[in-house]
Structure 1
Amino acid sequence: MIIPWKDLDRETLDNLIESFVLREGTDYGEQERSLTQKVDDVRRQLNSGEVVLVWSELHESVNIMPRGHFRE
């Protein structure tokens, strides 16, 4: 289920995005980027619709996924 991220409290959304970018195995290429830069990148992708915030009932977790990888 896609979560309407614009309805979330700003602090809640920030925490979800930070948790996502801090996950082990998240790759941002050869150049290291700051946490702020990574969070800004994800927020930009949410704004543009490139990625969506998704709730998994099976795993009882929230994830950020490319829109094309999510099937409603």
Structure 2
Amino acid sequence: MPHVLLLGKPGCHLCDDARVIVADVLADFPAVTFEEQSILDDPALLDAYAEEIPVVLIDGRVHTIWRVDPSRLMKALS
């Protein structure tokens, strides 16, 4: 079962947009687990992704940076 992780931070409008898209796509994939994490809570994530959020990872691998394409995400989870 795939795991999707959305990395972002509070006040990030692109993160808000990504959250909506990811939620819409995951509605069609009930077996997929989802987690959201703020890069502000982890210094290593902040160093790695400070200028690249939002980031969507699937099973620990970067799938998308900045803008989430719903079709591409759907295909990756299929």
TM-score by length of 1: 0.36
TM-score by length of 2: 0.34
Higher RCO structure, 1 or 2 (CA under 8 Å, sep 6+): 2
